[in-house]
Amino acid sequence: MKHIVKIMALLVALSAFWISLLQTSVLPQSYTWLLPLYFIVSLGCYGLLMVGVGLIQFPTCPHEAILLQKDIVEAKGFLKEKGVDIGSE
């Protein structure tokens, strides 16, 4: 619940800033109307950057891989006991 409050507060602050720019004419009106579009595009670029960084720094977990292999072997044994054909090994 705390995150939604932070997000809503940020959106209200950005909206107030945008409306104030529209009212004061600090920037030309044609640029000011495009600010929400620029914000959405920059947010998308930031999201793609974070996904890329996460993929580059993807951690390897050898201990977890061993545990996963043990779970797979255990599941195959359980399914064989129940008569399920799981294919060739």
How far is it, in rounded angstroms, from Cα 58 to Cα 64?
Answer: 14
- Residue 75: per-residue pLDDT: 93
More confident call, 2 vs 76: 76
Q: For the stretch 26-63, what's the b/e string if a residue is b when 16 or more beta carbons lie within 10 angstroms of its beta carbon? A: eeeeeebeeeeeeeeeeeeeeeeeeeeeeeeeeeeeee
The residue ranges of every structural domain in the chain are: 2-58
Mean pLDDT, range 25-51, rounded to an integer: 81
Query: In the predicted model, is pLDDT for residue 89 greater than 60?
Result: no
DSSP for residue 25: T
- pLDDT, mean over the chain: 84
